[in-house]
Structure formats: C-alpha cells, structure tokens
Amino acid sequence: MQSIFTSEHSESPAAILRKTMSVSLGDDGTPMVSFAVNRGKGSGRQSLPVSEFADYVGALEDALEAGVSEESDEALSAADMVRRTIRQDEGIVSFRVRGGKGAKPAKLPVDSFSEVVDLLSSTVDAVEEAGSKLA
C-alpha cells in the first residue's frame, strides 16, 4: 500500500544524510565518502575522496559562518564570472562571461590562450572608445 500524502520529500536533509552516508573504496582503490542530502529528480549523491572531506566540511563551515551570498550568477560582473568559472581541462581553457540558462562557455586551446588574451588586451581602448560613442 502506498500513502498518497507521504513522499520521500518529507524527510529532512539531515535524516537523508544519516541514511545515505557511507565510506567505500572507489574503482581506483581510493577511499571515498558518499552521501545525499535530498532525493528526487535533479538530485544525486555527493562523492569525494576521504582525504578531501575535512577541507570540504571546513569550506561549508566557513560559508555557514560568513553567510552564503544570494547573488545569482546573472548579477556577477563578467570579470567575476570569469574568475568563478575559468577552468583548464585536457588542453582546453573554458570560461563564461555570464550565467543563467543557455549561457555557453568560451573554449580555446591552451596554446592559443595567451594570444587571445593579448589580442583582447590590445582592443580595450578601442572598445571603450567605440562604446562611449554609442552612449
């Protein structure tokens, strides 16, 4: 029998954490901690190396103490968005200039990164001048 009014969403995040937290060996033999704090569509288990867990918890404690910004990605300046999102993976540098649905990252080979940054840097004055003429 299934109750119509009871769902797994009625469990608190702490209760879900208590039920799901486990430590096991990853495929490569690394001790991993895994847990969930919510259930349902769009949620999943968090899994990370045990060696990173104390720093992970420390970062959450810092956020709890300092407060979590409610500023959305859309409210960040382009520079702050780049700082937040820039990554290098498999020879590709990627970053975003805005957040939100549909925002796509710029992607370029690592060996082109310096050239692109230099070219962008050389255009700052011209872009600002052109912008002031439009304003």
pLDDT of residue 23: 93
The answer to whether position 1 is within a domain reads no
- Give the dihedral sign, CA 39/41/43/44: positive
pLDDT of residue 1: 52
Same domain, 84 and 110: yes
pLDDT digits (tens, 9 = 90+) for 66-121: 776 666 666 778 888 888 889 999 998 988 888 777 778 889 888 898 888 888 88
Please say which residue of 66, 85, 116 terminates a domain: 66
Same domain, 79 and 56: no
Tell whether pTM > 0.95: no
- Give the count of domains, the chain: 2
**Apex 99 CA angle, 96 and 100, nearest 5:** 140
What residue numbers bound the domain in which 81 lies? Answer: 74-134
pLDDT of residue 61: 84
The answer to whether position 2 is within a domain reads no
pLDDT digits (tens, 9 = 90+) for 6-27: 555 578 888 888 889 999 998 9
Same domain, 89 and 119: yes
The answer to whether position 3 is within a domain reads no
